[in-house]
Amino acid sequence: MIREIKLLLARIQNLKKSNPNKDSSDVHHGMTILANNLNEILNDEESVELLLKSQLNIQHNIITHRAGNIDENLVFNFIMRHNKVKEIKLLMSEVKIEKLGISNLRLLFQNPHFFPYVNVSHISLLYLFSRLENEIYDQHEKMYPIGSLFISAKNDNPEILFPGTKWDPLQGRFLMSASDYSTMNESLQIGGKETHLLTLDELPPHFHAINNLCTSLDGEHNHEGYCDFRLKDVEKVGTVAGNDNFIRVDTGINQNGPIFNWMHTHIFKTNRVDGHQHKVQGNTEETGGNKRFNLIPPYIKVFVWTRIK
């Protein structure tokens, strides 16, 4: 029980004001002072032993004792049960105890018959804690309503920081704002990928140089040709003194002139080969590793939770 009270007191001490009005400020101030005082007592073994033996029930109430002085507005009342029979009500403000500390607690046990007895509306410690829980819950709802994200550089689960709430961790994801704020359709949608392999359509237009290519070997063949020429008939007809022979040439036409005309042309004709094509074979040099590339920008890792309850 003492441990639970200590944890709750620590939360009282760290509690922030939830409303700016004076009544709320007074309650908040009273809670804070009560927490500090009780925490001091609970850290003292002798005082704790006295509390457990006497079954002291600490109660407090915010009443108007002196206008404008919040410290004196905080009044502690003690109900001490002796032999579970009679109750003694004590108003500590009458003995000018501004702080409920260890020495004052011992003084109370030494002389429990302080006067006068004042009837005030008491708020028991359990009720105080109940109000405290409600105020803490209200703050949780204002700071981190359901659907909120909690981001921290520490891995402390927010369920420990905010008792009574439920959180789910978000792991390995970047945060991206929604494009449509009129609906909740995009809330907590997931997408994207860490790496990507380019497709052909995603490559930019480009060229590759082609060097040292040759056509294929094709259409092996020969070419043949011939030329026209005419033979002149030559006939030996006799001899002449000083010469061995003389000849007659039959030209076939009625003309005089040299026997041979050495100026002539030759016409060659080859066999026909139809029009055709030659293939150009070869490859450009291979390039590229066909590896996926990283899409992750520079980052810093943190712990992120989303409240679900």
* Residue 105 CB neighbour total at 10 angstroms: 23
Give Cβ neighbours of residue 304 (< 8 Å, ≥ 6 apart). Answer: 149, 150, 151, 169, 170, 173, 175
Q: Which ranges constitute the DSSP H helices of the chain?
A: 2-13, 22-42, 45-54, 70-73, 102-110, 125-143, 158-161
Q: What is the pLDDT of residues 155-207, one digit of tens each?
A: 989 888 887 789 999 998 888 888 888 888 888 888 888 888 888 888 888 77
Q: Which residue has the tokens 């206008």?
A: 67
The stretch 221-244 carries a mean pLDDT of: 58
pTM greater than 0.75: no
Which one has a higher pLDDT value, 55 or 47? 47
Residue 287's pLDDT band, with cuts at 50, 70 and 90, is: confident
Cis peptide before 116 (omega within 30 of 0): yes
Q: What is the pLDDT of residues 266-277, one digit of tens each?
A: 666 666 666 667
Q: What is the pLDDT of residues 90-118, one digit of tens each?
A: 333 333 333 445 555 555 555 444 433 22
| Domain layout of the chain by residue ranges | 2-138, 146-204+290-309
Q: Which residue has the tokens 């006068």?
A: 116
How high is the pLDDT of residue 80? 35
Residue 218's pLDDT band, with cuts at 50, 70 and 90, is: low
